[in-house]
Structure 1
Amino acid sequence: MISPDPEVIAMAVLLDLVLGDPRWLPHPVVQIGRLITVLESLLRRLIACERCAGVLLLLLTTGTAAGTTWLLLRSTAHLSSLAGLLAAIMVSATCLAARSLHRESSLVAAALGAGDIISARQHLSYIVGRDTEHLNEDEIWRALVETVAENTSDGIIAPLFWLSSGGPVTAMAFKAISTLDSMVGYKNERYLQFGWASARMDDLVNFIPARLTAILMIISAPALGLSWSNACKIFLRDRLKHPSPNSAHPEAAAAGALGVRLGGTSSYGGKESFKQHIGDPLTPLDGQAYRNMIRLMYLTTLLMAGLCIVALMACRR
């Protein structure tokens, strides 16, 4: 079950939607993160050229993640076809993050609903890169909608794209690249050179998925009572208003569908950063906007899964 398989994708999506990522179950991304930490320390000591060390970090991390996944799938397939199938489903499910994205973001929303802004800031800090200590309620809602919109692409649509393109091994390699970007892909003094290769590779592997996510959000909007016309308008107008070449695409489509305005001033490591506004403030950024974003995330996920399954079945015939 190393190659793309429609049954594996269908079961992996179902497993992710039902269970998500149980906290008691060891997750590959956690192990990838530990590997990155060890390799960073080792490579910084051994290689003086930071950019060269960063390139090697990318190759070693991605190669280890892909190779380990390949060995696991091959070894279980030798035991029995059922064991190989179950292993492929489990590996594929760990690459998806729809349920966990909903669960973690809902903790922030619930805390805000209860008037506990301190807990909301704390829970938000686990799922965003910006500083959260001094955010007010409006800024928390904005950060929450932005991260769900962006992670719909990074954490769901992109893994599905790579699952259907290259199978579980390719999807796990994508997760390694994504984890590298989240850990070393920063434009600060420590990681500007060392994380350069990881950040550029993350831009590359997310290029098609980010745009596909935006299109799927626009298609999904009317089924949820949201505005597809405004989603299309804001996507075309604001899709490039972000330092990242990919992030604004899903954010613009989501902002247009919801009728909200994203972007503005945020703080990262104590330094303020202004991102251009995306969307128009037609409706408030509040709990209803968040709930609509979650609904849009789920429908976009199901639509993408359906497209992947149909495409693979057509190729099989």
Structure 2
Amino acid sequence: MIAFGPEILLVLLVALAIDALLGEPNWVWERFPHPVVWFGKAIGLCDRLFNHPSEQSPFVGRLTGLMVIIVLFAGGTALAWFLQESLLSLGIFGGIVLALVSSVLIAQKSLYDHVLAVQKPLEDGDIIAARQAVSMIVGRETKFLEKDGVARAAIESLAENFSDGIVAPVFWFALFGFPGLVAYKIVNTADSMIGHKNDRYLWFGWASARLDDLLNLMPARLTMLLLLLSPFHPVGGRAAMGVGAVWAAIKRDAPKHRSPNAGWPESATAGRLDIALSGPRYYGSKLVDEPFVNDGGRVDIGPVEVGDALRLYRSSLIVQFLAIAAIAGFCLL
């Protein structure tokens, strides 16, 4: 049942405010396992028990993976619904606790801090530290990246994770409450663990990868709109591309991306910053020849452009918060 309504939206606004202020309190997760760790343990257990690619046909592998993600999805949703209903029955105090728990699964400040950790060594000219920092947020090989490659990797990660780490959880929470948030995070975690096109997960992880694509379909495009329409001007007196020109570039470039969803926020970011993103990169020793997004944009980039990306990100977060507040206010009328 859709849980959309002012009560849920107010809980969401409090959760966003808590996450923006506190982020990921490391002192908590040093003592207690993060909820995503529990999701990962459950997915890992199912992987060990049910994924035997050398003994299974592609059909059996796909069917097994589908059944696993259905059970995890349904079980997580049921537990989250029980917790939500129990907390909301306690009134305002329960709503605040629910917001606090929900904030743990939204990564606004954490994402900002991780990208800022790349910008600072770039500003200091410490390419070794910058490579190390960016390796924490990307899957590609980083040890040979120069300044522009590090900056590009950080900005791409910011754009993609803005969609699946913030906008998508917020979207599904707004529609279905805490159960929607938990269900999305389970699928997204499963995709990151088993949704790979390799010998072990090609069939078993197929359902998780396709479901993750489906759940991110609308959020990715909402992220693109936030990045496209939020107030922003690059520093240093550089002229910003007009919204119409950026939109034309998005329509041209987003479908070229290997992901059906990631190209939308990435191309919006590239257009607003007037830089080229994506392009060839190494995963391990394998060169993946990806096309550039916003080909023709600047390729000689560095800490200034990372800073611009962070300012665009902050502006988009504010617009998202205000939009949710406006919808909540309208629902209360």
Scaled by the length of structure 2, the TM-score of the pair is: 0.87
Which residue does the alignment assign to 2:329?
A: 313
Contact 1:266 1:274 in 2 (8 A): yes
CA distance in 2, matches of 1:197, 1:282: 38
Q: CA deviation at 1:58?
A: 1.3
CA distance in 2, matches of 1:214, 1:171: 20
C-alpha RMSD of matched pairs (Å): 2.2
1:162 pairs with 147, 165, 172, which one? 172
Higher mean alpha-carbon deviation, 286-295 vs 41-50, is at: 41-50
> Residue type of the partner of 2:114?
E
Secondary structure class of the residue paired with 1:24: helix
Aligned sequence identity (%):
35
Which residue does the alignment assign to 2:302?
A: 286
Higher mean alpha-carbon deviation, 90-99 vs 117-126, is at: 117-126
2:225 pairs with 191, 210, 215, which one? 215
Q: CA deviation at 1:273?
A: 0.9
Q: Deviations over 1:170-189 (max 9, x none)?
A: 01111111111111111222
Which residue does the alignment assign to 1:258?
A: 273
Q: CA deviation at 1:89?
A: 0.3
Secondary structure class of the residue paired with 2:291: strand
Contact 1:138 1:285 in 2 (8 A): yes
Secondary structure class of the residue paired with 2:297: coil
Q: Deviations over 1:218-242 (max 9, x none)?
A: 1114466743344223212211111
Which residue does the alignment assign to 2:36?
A: 29
Gapped regions of structure 1 (runs ≥ 5): none
Q: CA deviation at 1:45?
A: 5.4
> Residue type of the partner of 2:129?
S
> Residue type of the partner of 2:87?
T
Matched, 1:68 2:83: no
Q: CA deviation at 1:159?
A: 1.4
CA distance in 2, matches of 1:127, 1:238: 23
Which residue does the alignment assign to 2:254?
A: 239
Gapped regions of structure 2 (runs ≥ 5): none
Scaled by the length of structure 1, the TM-score of the pair is: 0.91
> Residue type of the partner of 1:311?
I
1:14 pairs with 12, 17, 33, which one? 17
CA distance in 1, matches of 2:41, 2:165: 19
> Residue type of the partner of 1:307?
A
Higher mean alpha-carbon deviation, 38-47 vs 9-18, is at: 38-47
Matched, 1:141 2:168: no
1:39 pairs with 38, 42, 46, which one? 46
> Residue type of the partner of 1:274?
D
Secondary structure class of the residue paired with 1:177: helix
Matched, 1:150 2:153: no
Secondary structure class of the residue paired with 2:68: helix
Secondary structure class of the residue paired with 1:112: helix
Matched, 1:274 2:277: no
Which residue does the alignment assign to 1:303?
A: 319
Q: CA deviation at 1:302?
A: 1.8
Q: Deviations over 1:15-39 (max 9, x none)?
A: 1111111122342112211221112
Which residue does the alignment assign to 1:53?
A: 64
> Residue type of the partner of 2:138?
V
Contact 1:9 1:309 in 2 (8 A): no
Contact 2:234 2:273 in 1 (8 A): no
Q: 1:131 to 1:53 in 2, by over 3 A?
A: farther
Which structure 2 residues correspond to residues 70-219 of structure 1 after superposition, within 5 A?
A: 70-78=81-89, 80-219=90-229
CA distance in 2, matches of 1:25, 1:38: 25
Q: CA deviation at 1:283?
A: 6.8
CA distance in 1, matches of 2:126, 2:14: 38
Q: Deviations over 1:142-194 (max 9, x none)?
A: 10010001111111111111111111110111111111111111122221111
Ranges of 4+ aligned residues in structure 1 off by more than 6 Å: none
CA distance in 2, matches of 1:41, 1:255: 40
Aligned length in residues: 315
Secondary structure class of the residue paired with 1:267: strand
Contact 2:232 2:312 in 1 (8 A): no
CA distance in 2, matches of 1:256, 1:200: 28
Q: 1:174 to 1:212 in 2, by over 3 A?
A: same
CA distance in 2, matches of 1:111, 1:16: 25
